Structure 1
Amino acid sequence: MTLSSAVCFKCVHDTFLSTWVTETGALDHCSLCGDMAQSVALVEITARARAVLDQYIWEARNHRHWGSDGSRLESPGEPLKYWVAEVFACSPGAPIVQAVCGGLSEECEALPIFSTTIHYSIRPAGVKSALNRWCDIQEGMRHSSRFFNDEARQLLSWLFDDLGQYAESAEADHVVQTLKPDDCPAIYRARRSPAEKVERIRDNPDTELGSPPKEVSGEGRMNPAGIPAFYGAFDRQTCIAELRPLPQDSFISGRFQLIRAVRVLDFERFEGANLGPIPSFFDPEYFKHLDRQGFLRKIHEEIRIPVDEEEKRNYLITQAVAEYLALKCSPRFDGVIFRSAQRAEGRNIVLFSHAAAKPTSSTVRFATGYRVSGAKAGDPLSIEYVAGSMILHTIDKDNVGTMDEVLKETESSNAIPEA
């Protein structure tokens, strides 16, 4: 079989490619099945396969068949026919696979050459990928244009703007959820509590365990300094695990309850969601689809993993995502849910500033003095502390469990009585 041999629309298997052969080919005897049908030359099929594979795979590193001592080494990656079969959506034994592998092995100037004697693996993200684009955008946001960065807005728009296709629901298996006070699971928040802080937290649990005031709000994975957010979890153990406890550390946790409905994006569900039919490898949209899923996984990973103090600049990507969801999506989001990195079965929730922080007065300093403004009207708070729900946890010396003590507290007019 030569590169000029005809291949019909039926023998290419892939639906997208089959349509292309039907629309652009001519009647000919197919060299694979012998039928008279719309066909194109194998060289055209091979060229398209080559273009796809060049983006998708590369030679597996450290490929060896035999060790120096004569023992067989397991080589990474898969043979060429494996990848060709995947691209054409057929079995490795299909005639088109053998034909294309033969064509790919032939030398062709200025085009990548693939060999049937080499193993290949999936290529890492390319220079045009969303992740690499974001790296460039981060550099620009840090050092040139942070507040009016059109490239960041365009990238996040591409990632999130079709969220409207997902039905909103209180059901846990939906990407976009509406959590309501009467059916939302309990939410917990914990703080590290050395002995000198226990009394202060016990006497003011709604303020000490809730979102901090904007004046003292530090930087977090989903908020810059000065823009507070509520970081919680759906169980106490996850709250404590997220604070990365050491033996004999002490923590106080409290329960919080929603007092209005909130709209949240579940990143764990979104990462694995059906983003529409997966395009054919031969469809120009395929690698955009793949790129989007990869970028979503990266964002979820960045949200989950705590960053050390000296690495907080790495929060930029997740802070930008939070601001986009809170301010640019319509309708906007009140928060996100994501999987815990510290506890396998744990799930965390972050409520953004407009949903979790009380409006406060502001002070602006001028050369001639100060201007003090009263608290501006804003969105109603979405969450409040449940009175009587505080527990003091002390990590045991082996760091495998906690000693728990229910804390008595003074009655708070801002707290919801525990049911």
Structure 2
Amino acid sequence: MARLPRDLFDRRATLGPCKNGGVGFFAAQIALVLKLLRGVEQCRVDERRSEPPTNPARFNPTAAAEIRYSLPSHLALPEGPNRFSFHTAKLWSLPGSINGAIGSEEDPPAVPAKALATAEIVECAGKALGGDVHQDEADELKAKMLCHACVGEAYLSGEIAREGECAKCSYCGKTRRCYGVGDVAERVQVAFEQHYIRTSDQPTSWQYTLMSDRESSYDWSRDGEPITDAIANAAEIPQEAAEDIQQILEAEHDDFDSAAMGEETEFSSDSQYEEKGTSDRVWQEEWRNFESSLKTEARFFSRTAARHLASIFDGIDDLRTQSGQPLVVDAGPGTDFHSVYRARVFQSEDKLEEALCRPDIHLGSPPASVAAAGRMNARGISVFYGANDSKVAIAEVRPPVGSQVAVARFEIIRPLRLLDLTALTAVSVTGSIFDPDHAGRMERAMFLRTLSARITRPVMPDDEHFEYLATQAVADFLATESSVPIDGIIFPSVQAAGDVLNVVLFHKAARVEALALPKGTEIKARNGHMEEDGWEEDYEVIEEVPPAPKEPAAEAKPKPGWPDFAAMAAMPWEPHDPDWRDASLRVVLDSVTVHQVRRVEFKTDEFNVSRRRWEKREPDF
């Protein structure tokens, strides 16, 4: 049940102009009275006036307006009976501030021209109540028309030009495609909710401290720009149109409780706004949930994980960096990324010689039966890891001292599309704040800038089994489920510094073209030979091919009939190749080198360890 606050009555307040916010709490209480007295049995106003004194700075207690209220029986007071006859509220003011009175709609009093403060109080109270007069004004403003030519913001102007109706613009007078100002106000409201924030109308405690410091020259000013200027600048519309939109939105956001507390509401005429930063907090939380679900819930069949990855990578080929570089780059013949280096570590001479004989087999992607789990592949899934530099390729296999590393360069022989994670850090999204999806794209772009670091962060060997699950799932999704065709990923090296890159080619693009060797070829490799001064290391591969068969002299033979079963039997039989993939790589035989690991260098950050000793003491309490 509504209750009328007793401290409303016989309150004295110094009133200022309503436009400057001086009416504050007292105007709000008048609004409260008017709201509670809707359906009142009787509301009478007795007016007493006195001539203003010659000195306006002197307080005049005789200038007052007396308002008498009679509440109906269904309204209750905090104390006493449920019905009361007359209570008096006296409004005291500076001379000349109140020379009028507040009356009912049925019997409005005559208000002299000098009664500005009273009129402003009534106006503020009416706005706080969302009264009929104020709503009518808002409806009139909504009915105005705004043409696309008066809107400079490209997205909003284009939408009006496409979907608006032909009407006479209320601001330029031209007949063009228009939106109602009420419709434009709705779009402004959505845009400001997503991209702007209302700044505080009070200094912070730290700013108050500076202001109260006598030795400080700090002068506080509110952040942001006035609401009408913010609307005009965001939509690039005339100032008059911005003011109309502000009034419409202010009327829709009027809140009686906030007005009663003297609090500023959204789109208030005195409010100021500034653009707010983008946050990827939701995306980061979803990524953590994605990692956790792979580790603890479902590893192989997870619709939640698939939906999350789809939201991240769908349409990623349309994104660009700030310099215009695409996130999905072309690789292969005629491109900047046309070859990669791959290394393999060996600790026995026999296996090394075997690899030198057939680098297409032993230096390429491993067979599925021996494919170990890696950052971008699960165990048993054969992929091709490489680098754009031979030294980086060696560093990535982390060879022990005393081992030998074989390195070869592989040409990319067919067009491939690779996702460049190094470009994610500079991804940029352009668009309009009036596009409802723009905020989501900005949040996604902000998350993508951190995704490269998440995928390539160093992982300890003991943690690889769990910590590689997320990156393996990403690679599997991009290789098989992504709406964007992607053959591999370019990512920064964690083992080498500088402008060096790693690349992983997914299973579908990891096949190496077999060497063209005559049938019956025997291949031998050796790592050196004996000289007078001792053993000299000299890696060499020798191919022994059979002699070319001599073709017998052609003899005239009768033309066989069809089918010629004898000829079919003599045809060479080729075993069926179960590998359906097209070859993507070709080893460059002249590029094969062997590196003997003599020492390993590390780059570290050194920290001193301090050691202290304290005597144990029992606490006093």
Please state which band the TM-score falls in when normalised by the shorter chain.
0.5 to 0.7
Q: 1:35 to 1:289 in 2, by over 3 A?
A: same
Whole-Å Cα distance in 2 between the matches of residues 80 and 197 of structure 1?
A: 73
Q: What's the offset of the Cα at 1:223?
A: 1.1
**Greater RCO, 1 or 2 (C-alpha within 8 Å, sep 6+):** 1
**Matched-pair contact (CA < 8 Å) for 1:181–1:260:** no
Structure 1: 5+ residue stretches without partners: 167-171, 359-373, 401-419
Matches within 5 A, 1:126-275: 127=282, 132-157=285-310, 160=313, 175-180=328-333, 185-190=338-343, 197=347, 202-203=352-353, 204=355, 206=359, 210-239=364-393, 252=405, 254-258=407-411, 260-261=413-414, 263-268=416-421, 271=424
1:178-213 deviations in whole A, cap 9, x for unaligned? Answer: 41499854422356x7xx948678544647765455
1:29 corresponds to which letter in structure 2?
S
Tell me if the contact between 1:261 and 1:382 (Cα under 8 Å) persists in the aligned partners: yes
Alpha carbons 2:197, 2:273 under 8 Å: kept: no
RMSD of aligned residue pairs (Cα, Å):
5.4
The Cα shift of 1:174 comes to: 8.3
Change (3 A) 1:376 1:50: same
| Paired residue secondary structure (1:122) | coil
For the residues of structure 2 that align with 1:120 and 1:304, how far apart are their CA atoms?
A: 33
Q: 2: CA distance between counterparts of 1:174 and 1:50?
A: 33
Q: Which residue is 1:302 aligned to?
A: 454
Equivalents in 2 of 1:79, 1:390: separation in Å?
A: 67
Distance 1:375 1:141 in 2: 35
Residue in 2 aligned with 1:88?
234
Match of 2:119 in 1: none
**Contact persistence 1:105–1:116 (CA under 8 A):** no
Deviation at 1:351, TM superposition (A): 1.4
* Alpha-carbon displacement from aligned partner over 1:12-66 (angstroms, at most 9, x marks no partner): 4223433555626964533xx677874533x654443232232335579997657
Please state if 1:391 is matched with 2:531: no
Match of 1:29 in 2: 170
Residue aligning to 2:437: 285
What amino acid sits opposite 2:234 in the alignment? F
Compared CA separation, residues 397 and 185, structure 1 to 2 (3 A): same
2:502 aligned to 337, 340, 348, which one?
A: 348
> Which amino acid in the other structure matches residue 228 of structure 1?
S
- TM-score, length-scaled by structure 1: 0.62
* 1:379 alignment counterpart: 581
Letter in 2 for 1:390: V
Displacement, 1:84?
A: 4.4
CA distance in 1, matches of 2:398, 2:207: 45
Structure 1: distance between partners of 2:317 and 2:487: 15
In 1: Cα distance, 2:593 partner to 2:367 partner: 22
Residues 157/376 of structure 1: CA separation in 2 closer, same or farther (3 Å cut): same
Summarize the Cα distance change of 1:218–1:397 in structure 2 as closer, same or farther, 3 Å threshold: closer
Tell me how far 1:268 sits from its aligned partner: 4.7
Gaps of 5+ in 2: 1-18, 20-136, 259-263, 320-324, 513-575, 605-621
CA deviation profile, 1:302-359 (whole Å, cap 9, x unmatched):
344333443764544432232133223589543222344654522321112344378x
Separation in structure 1 between the aligned mates of residue 402 and residue 224 of structure 2, nearest angstrom: 49
Distance 1:112 1:51 in 2: 16
How many angstroms apart in 1 are the aligned matches of 2:199 and 2:374?
A: 39
Q: 1:353 to 1:398 in 2, by over 3 A?
A: closer
3-state SS of paired residue (1:323): helix
* Structure 1 residue identity aligned to 2:146: C
Distance 1:290 1:330, change over 3 A: closer
Letter of the structure 2 residue corresponding to residue 290 of structure 1: M
Change (3 A) 1:121 1:88: closer
CA distance in 2, matches of 1:252, 1:79: 64
- For residue 191 of structure 2, the aligned residue among 49, 52, 59 is 52
Name the CA distance, whole Å, in 1 between partners of 2:396 and 2:232.
40
How much does 1:234 deviate?
Answer: 0.8
Counterpart of 2:488 in structure 1 is 335
Larger radius of gyration, structure 1 or 2?
2
Secondary structure of the residue aligned to 2:593 is coil
CA distance in structure 1 between the partners assigned to 2:387 and 2:416 by the alignment: 16
Q: 1:95 to 1:320 in 2, by over 3 A?
A: farther
Give the aligned partner of residue 405 of structure 1: none
Q: Say yes or no: does 1:121 pair with 2:262.
A: no
For this pair of structures, how many residues does the alignment match?
367
Change (3 A) 1:40 1:50: same
* 1:8 corresponds to: 146
Q: Deviations over 1:131-183 (max 9, x none)?
A: 555544444444333333334434545555657889xxxxx978342414998
Tell me, in whole angstroms, the C-alpha distance in 2 between the residues paired with 1:7 and 1:95.
12
Alignment check: 8 A CA contact 2:427 2:449 kept: no
Distance 1:53 1:298 in 2: 26
| CA gap 1:307/1:78 in 2 versus in 1, 3 angstroms | farther
Report the alpha carbon displacement of residue 99 of structure 1 after superposing the two structures with TM. Answer: 6.9
Q: What is the match of residue 322 of structure 1?
A: 475
Residue 300 of structure 1 and its aligned partner are, at CA, apart by 3.6
Q: 1:303 to 1:209 in 2, by over 3 A?
A: farther
Q: What's the offset of the Cα at 1:397?
A: 5.9
Contact 2:341-2:393 at 8 Å conserved across structures: yes
The equivalent residue for 2:98 is: none
259 and 338 in structure 1: CA distance in 2 versus 1, 3 angstrom threshold: closer
Q: Distance in 2 between matches of 1:82 and 1:378?
A: 65
Q: Which moved more, 1:237-246 or 1:340-349?
A: 237-246
CA distance in 2, matches of 1:65, 1:241: 54
What is the DSSP-based 3-state SS (H/G/I as helix, E as strand, rest coil) of the residue aligned with 2:442?
Answer: helix
Verify the 8 A CA contact 1:236 1:253 in the aligned structure 2: no
SS at match of 1:29: coil
* Alpha-carbon distance change, 134 to 379 in structure 1, aligned in 2, over 3 angstroms: same
Alignment partners' CA distance in 1, 2:374 and 2:483: 24
